[in-house]
Structure 1
Amino acid sequence: MDSALNSGDTAWILTASALVLLMTPGLAFFYGGMVRGKSVLNMMMMSFGAMGVVGVVWVLWGYPMAFGTDVGGLFGNPFDGFGLGNLLAEDPEATLPSMAFVGFQATFAIITVALISGAIADRARFGSWLVFAGVWVTLVYFPVAHWVWASDGWIFKYGAIDFAGGTVVHINAGVAGLVLAILLGKRKGFAKEPMRPHNLPFVMLGAGLLWFGWFGFNAGSALAANNSASVVWVNTLVATCAAMLAWLLTEKLRDGSATSLGAASGVVAGLVAITPSCSAVSPIGAIVVGVVAGVLCALAVGLKYRFGYDDSLDVVGVHLVGGLTGTVLIGFLATADAPAGVDGLLYGGGASQLVIQVVSALAVVAFSFVMTMIIGFVIRATMGFRVSEEAEVGGIDLAVHGETAYENIAQGSVIKEVRS
């Protein structure tokens, strides 16, 4: 039988997969530059650790849980193709190899877990973080991915639009980050002493790598080299540009300066918000999404001081708020002329899609909150989740990893954590 494989689509998805995988090292630079010099390696290692754990788990049981045989609309059967041995042979009727889709979706699971780490910078045990990564991705990420993207998932059948992960990735990770920030407690000196980014060029480099990789994240989610991918590509570009400008303007009016940290943060806020909506809005709608997200996220990063939770690197302010913004705005700004083919409230479609978007977002918020709280409590009670005060103050890089990023930091004896 002749193969139906589309080599152009396959090449694009493999390329997009590599782009999305690059986002996690990019996130490591972004987060690493934002922390103090004594903890930069630990911060970057949390992203790389997520790559290791989630990559293995995804192949063993993650892909079947997300996209395998449905179990009540809640998750896939993890034993349905355990280890992916059933996907090695080519399907002559498929236009895209199964393994190309497997690889593409693996990169989404990896970066979702890595995103959470920014909320607990400077104070988490590395070993506990790795355990959390494996358990959380299994019990929280895989089921939510099934809900939203598998054809039998309840949110998919409900009609919610989430093209590339506003609920699955950003709302999910943002809520988990909030829960862990509360469970681990505040850093020593939070809101009392300056905790400025130690390397803003790292932050800018990381933001640039994230923006570059995000074109694979969003446009790759079309799963073909087609018109949908092209529309999504342009929407991703323009929303991000608008969000960066909106953040900088907000910062200028509020603080008197438009900063490089604000530019980098605005870029990420725009990328987050356009992720669920990039197939549903026009380029003008994408600009509106970017502007709203840039302003709201710039304001939201200050909520941690008002409410007293130490979200170290603003996972809540950027990913939770940005993900909610992009998901809900679909209900207002969606246009049937876009690839998703749905009209929102402002395009004469009524409020039905808006209700669907809100209900779906709130369901993910509730599920992620409860499950992350349970997982975090168990890890904290059994193996401990936070490093000692001595290690935190002296430098978590030395205490946990036995090394430092810079020779002039914490010269002398190494403080070793008994359980890292």
Structure 2
Amino acid sequence: MDTGSISWGITATALVLLMTPGVAFFYGGLVKATSVVSMMMLSIGALALVGVLWILVGASMSIVDSPGDFVGDPFADFALTSSAGGANANADLLGAAYGATFAIISVSLISGAIADRARFSSWMGFAGLWALVVYFPVAAWVWGGGWIQHLGEFLYGEHTAVEVIDYAGGTAVHINAGAAALALTLVLGKRHDFGRRSSRPHNVPLVLLGASLLWFGWIGFNAGAEWLNGLAGVGLIVTNTIGAASAAIIGWLLVERGKGGKPTAVGSASGAVSGLVAITPACADLTPGWSLLLGLLTGMVCSFAVEMKFRLGFDDTLDVVGIHLVGGLAGTLFLGFFATGTGLAFGGDIRQLVLQAIAGGAVLVYSFTLTWVIGVVIEKTVGFRLAAAQEAAGIDSHVHGESAYALDDGSPGTSSSAPIDTLES
């Protein structure tokens, strides 16, 4: 493989890895001032644990020998030993590293749904189990030769030109994580102060910083795999990624204004992320104009969707369901209508939409069910949720012994809680 492609593969891997700290900043700004460290540590913990698991067994589990296999053999290339000693070690190991960043951020995304009330140790146990029994198998289905990748052949014959489209993770990442987030919100229940007031972000600049890092890293997230294709489609993918996110901001802000509110910075950040989520599966299979439409519609739909938690009574703290599950479904189904060559708007038939719906629905049901089981087992055994008094006192000091905003009050060895109290008031 030429050095230019290898260089882009390294760059894209670094970009996607940066997205997990981006999630940490994005989520950290949205929570209470007394939960910032805890919130960020859920992402950093996922980065550490899932990164190790991916190298040990995840890379092997995400590749199957035949479409009928549920998951790959975890010991087929344990700790990537065979890859490291192979003739194509450079490309194989870089591919594994790139895949690791997807696994890491998929787990990290879920954490936003249970902010302000989850035990760190229990979260780490959940993160490891979810990666092993949910993410690694789903990655094999979608990208590793599994049944979703071959669904078109199963339904329409081996010579069909129609197949499930998920270029960068609408099903494997966003529907997967969003469905898991919904399940965990039901297992852990609502915060004691659940309501619109408790959902106000404590640090808007931190939210914007996180969203900016996510958008920056998303170029590698969507266009990174082009290092395997000689960068043939990188221009289209990058253009669509920028366009969809930009249009989604406009859609979100239009809804905010239409509901009688004001255009907000948090709404802009959330709109951008929703557009990025939606374009993820579709980035290589839409023309730029259709990407703009997808972004605009998704920004509007997700803006309405995040309000549903107050009407339906489930406490998705940081709107993982409203942005990632809904946005992932929007982008996945949109392809059934507007995918270049196979969508209904381009002379195609219903087959593309059927494939997209089956793939998205299957991942949603599988992830939700397994996540609910894992969450219930953890809650009933070691406990997943903090005690009410610990939630009220502040998770950061109780769980991590740190404060995001500890300022010296002049006394040796002490720190003042006044800045935190002020921020919370």
Q: Classify the TM-score, shorter chain.
A: over 0.9
**Take 1:214 and 1:71, find their aligned partners in 2: how far apart are those partners?**
29
Structure 1 residue 392 corresponds to structure 2 residue 391: yes
Name the SS for the 2:164 alignment partner. coil
The residue identity in structure 2 corresponding to 1:177 is: A
Name the SS for the 1:109 alignment partner. helix
1:89 shift after superposition: 2.9
Question: Given the superposition, is the C-alpha separation of residues 21 and 298 from structure 1 closer, same or farther in structure 2, using an over 3 Å criterion?
Answer: same
Question: Given the superposition, is the C-alpha separation of residues 70 and 64 from structure 1 closer, same or farther in structure 2, using an over 3 Å criterion?
Answer: farther
Aligned match of 2:278: 273
Aligned match of 1:411: 417
Task: Give the counterpart of 1:16 among 12, 20, 28.
Answer: 12
1:71 shift after superposition: 7.9
Q: Which runs of 4+ in 1 moved over 6 A?
A: none
TM-score (norm 1): 0.92
Matches within 5 A, 1:220-231: 220-224=224-228, 225-231=230-236
TM-score (norm 2): 0.91
1:70 shift after superposition: 4.6
Question: Given the superposition, is the C-alpha separation of residues 201 and 31 from structure 1 closer, same or farther in structure 2, using an over 3 Å criterion?
Answer: same
Count of residues in correspondence between the two structures: 399
1:193 shift after superposition: 4.3
The residue identity in structure 2 corresponding to 1:47 is: S
Aligned match of 1:132: 126
Structure 1 residue 309 corresponds to structure 2 residue 308: no
**Take 1:193 and 1:212, find their aligned partners in 2: how far apart are those partners?**
31
Unmatched 5+ residue regions in structure 2? 152-162, 408-414, 419-425
Aligned match of 1:340: none
Q: Is the 8 A contact 2:67 2:147 kept in 1?
A: no
Name the SS for the 1:38 alignment partner. coil
**Take 1:192 and 1:394, find their aligned partners in 2: how far apart are those partners?**
20
Matches within 5 A, 1:246-395: 246-336=251-341, 343-395=342-394
Task: Give the counterpart of 2:175 among 160, 171, 176.
Answer: 171
Q: Is the 8 A contact 2:60 2:74 kept in 1?
A: yes
Residue by residue over 1:15-43, the C-alpha shift from the partner in whole angstroms, topping out at 9 and shown as x without a partner, is 10000000000110000000010001000
1:369 shift after superposition: 1.0
Question: Given the superposition, is the C-alpha separation of residues 12 and 326 from structure 1 closer, same or farther in structure 2, using an over 3 Å criterion?
Answer: same
Structure 1 residue 77 corresponds to structure 2 residue 78: no
Q: Is the 8 A contact 2:199 2:317 kept in 1?
A: no
1:252 shift after superposition: 1.1
1:222 shift after superposition: 2.3
Name the SS for the 2:149 alignment partner. helix
1:194 shift after superposition: 3.6
Q: Is the 8 A contact 1:221 1:229 kept in 2?
A: no
Quote the sequence identity (%): 51
Name the SS for the 1:257 alignment partner. coil
Name the SS for the 2:85 alignment partner. coil
Residue by residue over 1:130-183, the C-alpha shift from the partner in whole angstroms, topping out at 9 and shown as x without a partner, is 0000000000000000000012x0000012100000000000000000110110
Q: Is the 8 A contact 2:305 2:322 kept in 1?
A: yes
1:410 shift after superposition: 7.6
Task: Give the counterpart of 2:98 among 104, 119, 126.
Answer: 104
